């Protein structure tokens, strides 16, 4: 059975780690007090250009994922940083939230009861309302935050969302 489900979602934009940021955080996590220099890591990873890791280090420094081991004012290298608690969370979650939570109201075309996403064209081709579908509470009970997040992130590649919560307001068959 095809459903069109109206959902109010509380979500926040999420910035995924790029490969170089992941490498920097992983190196600091793995080697902790004996992290390599940027030059050494560049050689070992066969990257070829240290600027990529240097830029990634600066990026994760700006969001508080790493902290300097010393208070000295000088140009710091990878081996001069350590992973912060925020950095451990960013590495575990493969990115970080950017900005404030936003309410989003979305209409999702779903197959019931599998909850498989349908194209909007399939979901909108039925013009008359049919009886006998599930209630908003039934859909709310079966739908997960992960599934809602998956739907949010499949339609717009320029933005990535992390769903915090949602509730189903309407179900049409």
The answer to whether residues 2 and 38 touch, using CB atoms and an 8 Å cutoff, is: no
Boundary of a domain, candidates 72, 93, 114: 93
Assess whether 73 and 111 both reside in one domain.
no
Assess whether 122 and 142 both reside in one domain.
yes
Number of domains in the chain: 2
SS3 40: helix
Average predicted confidence (pLDDT) for the chain? 89
For residue 80, the 8-state DSSP code is: G
pTM confidence score: 0.74
Assess whether 52 and 119 both reside in one domain.
no
8-12, 112-116, 117-121: the lowest-pLDDT one: 117-121
Assess whether 158 and 116 both reside in one domain.
yes
Q: Pick the more confident residue, 124 or 93.
A: 93
């Amino acid at each position: 059975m095809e459903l069109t489900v109206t959902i109010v979602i509380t979500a926040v934009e999420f910035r995924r780690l790029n490969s170089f940021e992941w490498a920097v955080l992983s190196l600091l996590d793995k080697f902790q007090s004996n992290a390599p220099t940027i030059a050494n890591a560049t050689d070992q990873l066969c990257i070829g250009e240290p600027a990529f890791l240097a830029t990634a280090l600066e990026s994760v420094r700006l969001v508080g994922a790493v902290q300097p081991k010393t208070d000295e004012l000088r140009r710091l290298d990878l081996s001069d940083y350590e992973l912060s608690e925020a950095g451990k969370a960013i590495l575990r979650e493969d990115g970080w939230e950017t900005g404030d939570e936003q309410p989003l109201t979305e209409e999702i075309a779903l197959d019931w009861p599998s909850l498989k996403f349908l194209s909007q064209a399939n979901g909108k081709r039925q013009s008359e309302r049919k009886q006998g579908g599930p209630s908003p509470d039934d859909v709310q009970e079966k739908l997960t935050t992960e599934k809602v997040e998956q739907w949010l992130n499949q339609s717009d590649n320029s933005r990535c969302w992390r769903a915090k919560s949602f509730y189903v307001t309407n179900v049409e068959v």
